[in-house]
């Protein structure tokens, strides 16, 4: 159709394309080549004449892709032109590999079954958890856990009970009693009743003072440090012997079975003097601070030092060691400071019996005739007043009888069941009040 406008020479162009009137249209981009899976086929953007397929791939994909091809067969290496099937197989294999690695990290129960899957961190407690789940044959075979407070008057047989608490089999296998001797009577007792026994190891914790300008005979701070060093060494010994048992099925020779802390009341005094002299600065020696008043808020310093020892006792007990804390009895005072007759309590730190599993009180009865005269016969008895490991309270247990030869002589009964960590008695050793 002719254009009657008179502008026939002017050709109207579609302005919607962005092309100016009279300009040539841009060529359309070539269509994207795709394979049967609708995946884009990459083609080289350079002249490939004379190049091999390997050379073309090197230039297109670089060395990084070639490294992927060099992976072992287990990781399903990439193919030259991986198809959809190849990708699917590779993905499935990777999932299986990850599942296998995760399974290695799943903790196992004692019977070998898998627990809930857990990705483990570097927390060292994972190993402790595994060990707890496995159990420990030595601890499982214990008759009882023992952390016993033993209190009584001098000469009632407190230390003798503990030194006599090893079985013949244990003596042969190297079981030891470690005696931390604040009472300083351990060597004489061993010489008198256990002479030649290498199974009783005595530690004297007291360090004497060498400073002539100080009135104290005892270096309290050095004594405290030495005491804690002995206890730490005991803990290290027990860790080593438990590891030995786990590996060999038996304890090493020698090994620590019983710890006797003899003189918990004297250790309390050591802690108190350190508090007054070194922690609170009330004086230069025990004599100078003896009468110094201490605020009730500051007594916690003494308690903290004392409990450092009790925490080690508890640790040893939890690892199978029989621990005995021994002390004398002390009087009880009324509100005016007067002694209450017939009222005594153990001399260890007040309220520390809450840390103990068992408490035993010893006392001595002196026999009198019908006229009230002493016969020369006396008996030592033990009474179990607390036992967290059993509901049974056996009553009075006869430790020994002391009498002149004409009246039958002396007899040592001991407490045989302590060898197994038990606090049982039989009819022959029951006290007179229980017959």
Q: How far, in Å, CA of 120 to CA of 127, rounded?
A: 10
Distance of CA 90 to the CA centre of its chain: 47
Q: Is the pLDDT of residue 244 over 80?
A: yes
**Cα angle vertex 379, ends 375, 380, to 5°?**
150
Q: What is the mean pLDDT of the chain?
A: 82
Beta-sheet pairing, 200-203 with 339-346? unpaired
**pLDDT given for residue 39 in this prediction:** 66
Write the burial class of residue 258 (CB in 10 Å: 0-12 exposed, 13-18 middle, 19+ buried).
buried
Q: Is the pLDDT of residue 177 over 90?
A: yes
Average pLDDT over residues 51-71: 65
Q: Is the pLDDT of residue 20 over 90?
A: no
Q: Is the pLDDT of residue 65 over 60?
A: no
Which of 27-36, 110-119, 368-377 is predicted least confidently? Answer: 110-119
Average pLDDT over residues 276-296: 90
- Assign 435 a pLDDT band (cuts: 50, 70, 90): very low
Total residues belonging to the chain? 435
List helix spans (H) across 260-298. Answer: 264-274, 286-289
**pLDDT given for residue 87 in this prediction:** 53
Q: Is the pLDDT of residue 5 over 60?
A: no
Cβ-based neighbour number of residue 195 at 10 Å: 7
Q: Of 268, 418, 275, which is closest to residue 328 (Cα–Cα)?
A: 268
Tokens of 433: 């009040």
Name the range with the highest mean pLDDT among 30-44, 50-64, 99-113, 270-284.
270-284
Per-residue pLDDT of 378-389, as tens digits, reads 999 999 999 998
**pLDDT given for residue 95 in this prediction:** 62
**pLDDT given for residue 401 in this prediction:** 93
**pLDDT given for residue 206 in this prediction:** 96
Distance of CA 215 to the CA centre of its chain: 41
- Assign 99 a pLDDT band (cuts: 50, 70, 90): low
Q: Which helix (H) or strand (E) holds 153?
A: none
Average pLDDT over residues 54-79: 58
**146 and 356 Cβ atoms separated by less than 8 Å:** no
Q: How far, in Å, CA of 57 to CA of 29, rounded?
A: 25
Measured CA distances, 366 to 156, 363, 402, 414 (Å) = 12, 10, 10, 18
Q: Of 223, 326, 314, 226, which is closest to residue 271 (Cα–Cα)?
A: 223
Q: How far, in Å, CA of 266 to CA of 348, rounded?
A: 8
- Assign 243 a pLDDT band (cuts: 50, 70, 90): very high
**pLDDT given for residue 72 in this prediction:** 52
**374 and 368 Cβ atoms separated by less than 8 Å:** yes
Average pLDDT over residues 210-225: 89
Per-residue pLDDT of 118-132, as tens digits, reads 688 999 899 888 888
- Assign 86 a pLDDT band (cuts: 50, 70, 90): low
Look at the pTM and tell me if it is higher than 0.85. no
Cβ-based neighbour number of residue 94 at 10 Å: 12
- Assign 323 a pLDDT band (cuts: 50, 70, 90): very high
Average pLDDT over residues 185-190: 87
**pLDDT given for residue 379 in this prediction:** 93
Q: Is the pLDDT of residue 300 over 90?
A: yes
Average pLDDT over residues 394-419: 90
**Cα angle vertex 387, ends 382, 391, to 5°?**
110
- 211 versus 42: which is more confidently predicted? 211
Q: How far, in Å, CA of 304 to CA of 299, rounded?
A: 9
Sheet of 200-203, strand order: 200-203, 175-181, 255-262, 322-327, 147-151, 358-368, 374-387, 396-402, 411-412
Tokens of 424: 């049982």
Which residues does residue 280 pair with via DSSP β-bridges, in sequence order? none
Average pLDDT over residues 364-379: 91
- Assign 140 a pLDDT band (cuts: 50, 70, 90): confident
The share of the chain scoring above pLDDT 90, in percent, equals 46
Q: Which CATH class is domain 143-356?
A: alpha beta
Which of 33-37, 164-168, 245-249, 364-368 is predicted least confidently? Answer: 33-37
**255 and 172 Cβ atoms separated by less than 8 Å:** no
């Amino acid at each position: 159709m002719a254009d009657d406008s008179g502008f026939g020479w002017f050709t109207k162009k579609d302005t919607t394309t962005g092309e100016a009137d009279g300009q040539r249209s841009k060529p359309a981009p070539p269509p994207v080549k795709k394979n049967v899976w609708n995946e884009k086929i990459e083609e080289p953007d350079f002249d490939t004449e004379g190049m091999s397929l390997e050379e073309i791939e090197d230039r297109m994909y670089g060395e990084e892709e070639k490294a992927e091809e060099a992976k072992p067969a287990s990781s399903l290496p990439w193919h030259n032109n991986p198809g959809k099937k190849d990708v699917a197989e590779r993905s499935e294999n990777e999932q299986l590999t990850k599942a296998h690695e995760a399974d290695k990290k799943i903790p196992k129960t004692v019977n070998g079954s898998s627990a809930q899957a857990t990705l483990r961190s570097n927390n060292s407690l994972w190993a402790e958890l595994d060990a707890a789940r496995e159990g420990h044959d030595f601890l499982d075979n214990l008759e009882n856990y023992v952390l016993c407070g033993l209190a009584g008057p001098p000469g009632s047989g407190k230390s003798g009970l503990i030194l006599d608490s090893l079985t013949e089999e244990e003596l042969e296998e190297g079981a030891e009693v470690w005696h931390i001797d604040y009472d300083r009577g351990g060597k004489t007792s061993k010489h008198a009743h256990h002479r030649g026994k290498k199974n009783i190891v005595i530690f004297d914790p007291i360090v004497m003072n060498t400073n002539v300008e100080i009135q104290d005979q005892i270096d309290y701070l050095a004594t405290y440090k030495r005491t804690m060093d002995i206890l730490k060494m005991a803990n290290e010994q027990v860790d080593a012997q438990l590891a030995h048992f786990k590996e060999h099925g038996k304890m090493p020779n020698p090994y620590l079975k019983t710890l006797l802390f003899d003189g918990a009341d004297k250790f309390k005094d050591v802690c108190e003097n350190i508090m007054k002299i070194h922690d609170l600065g009330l004086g230069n020696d025990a004599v100078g601070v003896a009468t110094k008043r201490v605020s009730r808020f500051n007594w916690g310093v003494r308690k903290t030092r004392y409990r450092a020892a009790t925490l080690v006792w508890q640790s040893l007990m939890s690892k199978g060691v029989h621990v005995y804390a021994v002390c004398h009895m002390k009087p009880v005072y009324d509100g005016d400071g007067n002694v209450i007759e017939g009222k005594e309590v153990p001399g260890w730190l007040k309220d520390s019996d809450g840390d103990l599993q068992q408490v035993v009180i010893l006392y001595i009865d002196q026999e009198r005739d019908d006229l009230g005269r002493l016969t020369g016969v006396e008996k030592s008895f033990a009474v179990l007043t607390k036992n967290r490991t059993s509901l049974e309270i056996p009553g009075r247990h006869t430790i020994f009888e002391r009498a002149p030869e004409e009246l039958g002589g002396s007899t040592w009964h001991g407490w045989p069941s302590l060898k197994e960590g038990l606090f049982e008695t039989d009819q022959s050793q029951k006290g007179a009040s229980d017959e």
